[in-house]
Chain A
C-alpha cells in the first residue's frame, strides 16, 4: 500500500499541497481527478521523489515504511514509476532503445512491438528517434508503452491523454487494464471525468487537498457539476461544505 499522510508542500511560500491524505491499495485502479493547477502533477512528482518535490511536512509511506527521504531511482527500485505529464525528448535515441533502456530491460523486438501497439503506435516507430521529429502525442504513447514494459507495482499515469486525441480513451483504458491485470496498482491523474469511469476508486483534488473521494461515478458526476468552472483558482478551499456554500448549491 502506498500512502500520503498529511502532506504539505509549498513553492516559495505558495502552498501547493495542503494536509493531503491519500491511500492506494495494492492491485486497484485509482483516478485522481481535478482541474488544472490543483496540484495533481505535484502529487505525482512527490510520490516519485523528484528532487524539488520534497514535502515540508508529512510523509510518503510504502507498506508502512516511510520513504520520504528516498530519491527517484531508489523509489523505482521499490516498484514505483510515473509516466510524467510532459514526455521529454531524447535526441539520438530510438524508440526500441528507449523502451528497452539501452538493453537494461531484457526484451525482444516483439515485446516492444506489442507494448507499442497497445499504446496505439505501429512497429515502424521502433526505429524512429524519440526526439522532436515526433509529436508530443506520439512521445506520450511511447511513454505509455515504456511503462507497460517495466513491470512496476505502482504506476502513476499523469494525464495519459494529454496531447492525444479523443479517440484514444479506449487505448488508455486498455493500458490501465493491462497493467492492472498483472496486479499493478494504477493511479491515473486526469482533469477529464470520462477517464474516471475505468477505475475502482476516485479522489477529487481541489487546491492541493482531497475534497471528496469515493466511487468513481459519483466523484466524476460531482466534479462535472461543481468543478466545471472553477471560481477560486488561487484560493484554498478546505471542504466540500465551503465549496457548496460558495456555489450556492446543496448536495
Chain B
C-alpha cells in the first residue's frame, strides 16, 4: 500500500471511519490485498496485486477507478474498497468500472463510511462487466451518520456474459440511512447467474428507494433479487423488484420483505414480472407488516419482552 505522506493524517481518520463500518483496517495495509482508499475527492491509497489492474483519476468532486481482473485470474484475497468522507458537508462522486475477464474470479469487500457528515450527497456510478464463466462477488456495507443528513444515490449496471456469476449484497443496517436511492440493473446472458440482496434498516424519517432489475436475456439465465427492509418510526420505503424473462428456460425470483414498526411508517413494494418468452419462468414473494405474531408469542413464552423479541427477529432477518 502506498499512502502519500501528506495524506497520513487523513488515512488515520479514514481508517477510524472504516473500522466503524466493520472494516478490518489491517487488510488495507496488507500487501497481498488489493485495495483502493478514497477520501472525499481523492484516492489516498491504492494497492494492486498480480493479475489485477487498477487505474484511477479525478473527476469533479470525486474520483474514478477502473479495476480489471485479468483473464483466468482467480484473485485469492478479496479486494478491499474503502470510501470515506470526513467533512460535514459536500458532495462526493465515485465512478467505478469493474471488468472481470473470462474465467476470472474476484470478491470485493466495500465499506462506505460517512459517520460525521450532516449534509453529504454521495453519488456512485458503477458499471460491471463479467466475462464468460467469470465470477464477481461484491459486498457493500454502509455506515452513515446518525444525523440522517447523508444522501446516497447509487446506480449500478452489470452485464454478465455466458456462464458468468454476479452476486451483489448491500447492507445498511447499523446506522440511520438518511436518503437512499439505489438502482441495480443486471443484464444476464446465456447460463449467467445473478443474486442481488439488499438489507436496510430505516429509522426516524429515513427515505429509502430501491429499484432492482433482472434482465434474463440469455437462455437458462437465472436471477434472484431479494430486499429486506425494516421500517421504523417515520421511515418511507419504496421498493421495486423487477424481472424480465426474455429468453427460453430463464428463471427469475424476486422477493421483498418489509417489516414495519411504529405507526408513522410509509412503505410499499411493487413486484414487476414481465415475460416475453413463454419458456421463461418468474416468481415473486412479497410481504409487508409487523413482526409475525406467532414468532413473537413463541419468544415471549420463553421470557423475552415484546421489544426484545422484535429486535431478535429483526436481527435475524438482517443477518
Contacts and interface: CB of A to CB of B under 8 A. Distances in A.
A104 B304 contact: yes
B308 interface: yes
Given A86-B294, A88-B294, A81 B315 contact: no
Contacts of B319: 92-93
A101 interface: yes
B318 A48 contact: no
A150 interface: yes
A192 B308 CA distance: 36
A90 B294 contact: no
A140 B317 CA distance: 21
Contacts of A88: 292, 294-295, 298
Contact of A48 (B292, B297, B304, B305): B297
A6 B317 CA distance: 42
Contact of A73 (B295, B300, B312): B300
B301 A81 contact: yes
A48 B301 contact: yes
A77 interface: yes
A76 B300 contact: yes
A92 B294 CA distance: 17
Interface string A17-29: 0000000000000
A146 B294 contact: no
A90 B303 contact: no
A101 B301 contact: no
What is the interface residue range for chain A against chain B?
A: 20 to 34
A72 interface: yes
Nearest to A151: B303
B256 to A, nearest CB: 14
B2 interface: no
Contacts of B298: 84, 87-88, 143
B77 interface: no
B293 interface: yes
Nearest to A143: B298
Interface string A64-77: 00000001110111
Interface of B: 292-295, 297-306, 308, 312-313, 315-319
Given A50-B297, A87-B298, 20 more contacts: A51-B293, A51-B297, A72-B301, A73-B300, A73-B303, A73-B304, A81-B301, A81-B302, A84-B294, A88-B292, A88-B295, A90-B313, A91-B316, A91-B317, A92-B319, A101-B303, A101-B304, A143-B298, A150-B302, A150-B303
